[in-house]
Amino acid sequence: MSTVAILYPGHSAEDEFTLLEGLIPDARFPVIHTWEGSTDHDVDALLRLGARDLLEPPAKEAAQAGADSVMWACTSGSFVYGWDGCHEQAGWVADASGAPASSTSLAFAHAVKHLGLSRVSVAATYPEDVAAHFVEFLRRGGITVTALSTYDVPSGEDAGLLGPDWVLETARAADLTGAEALLIPDTALHTMAVLPQLEEALGLPVLTANQVTAWQGLRLAGHPAAARGLGTLLEAH
């Protein structure tokens, strides 16, 4: 059994990790909350969410829970730190937990490269100024964003209320010209249940925040990170 501790801010779509425990063999995803306030999609607020003093205590809690790996499960709360800062952030978590650690943003970059891709379209819940940080983050990772669509969802809590129809409509509306995959960031967004429909509708791999977070955490824990019905990423191990 592989235990991937999920460091998660606020309350929105953390139930996706409970769902994954029933879909991925020999995997546990205990959620440890890092923040109990609002998770606003604002650069200054997101920098605060990913601050060292907020991440180290739950990372130590993950160590006490016997985590095999630890994931900072917040796309925007990691990519706002930039490519170098994001790696430093993962280092804080690893040092505090004593386990391999990463974040959702780093998981996106690794997942794209794992699939042998380099050109992606992004459909983001965030305001444009926040989403621009993700585009730059991916660029630093050698990934070209061919198109970006943004939706000005004010916070993670608001994103957590969006249903599968919204996710499917957003994916279908994305500009996929020249793209090899669609990325849908935001761990506050429920996407796991519609991954097969997303890929069937688009004819491309679709990477979503909680999907890549679980995948990266499992890989760090030494798990094969393979499962059916969770998209190309977990079927292409």
Element (H, E) at 77: helix 76-79
Q: Give per-residue pLDDT as tens, 97-122.
A: 999 999 999 999 999 999 999 999 99
The per-residue pLDDT for 125 is: 98
The per-residue pLDDT for 50 is: 98
Confidence of residue 148 (pLDDT cuts 50, 70, 90): very high
50 φ, ψ to 5°?
-95, 15
Structural domains of the chain, ranges and CATH numbers in brackets: 2-105+210-235 (3.40.50.12500), 108-208 (3.40.50.12500)
Measured CA to CA, the distance from residue 146 to residue 149 in angstroms comes to 10
Q: Give per-residue pLDDT as tens, 215-231.
A: 999 999 999 999 999 99
**pLDDT exceeds 60 at position 17:** yes
Measured between alpha carbons, how far apart are the two ends of the chain, in Å? 18
The tokens of 112 are what? 């794209």
Distance from chain centroid for Cα 12: 13
**pLDDT exceeds 90 at position 3:** yes
Average pLDDT score over residue span 50-60: 98
Q: In what order do the strands lie in the sheet with 119-124?
A: 144-150, 119-124, 181-184, 206-208
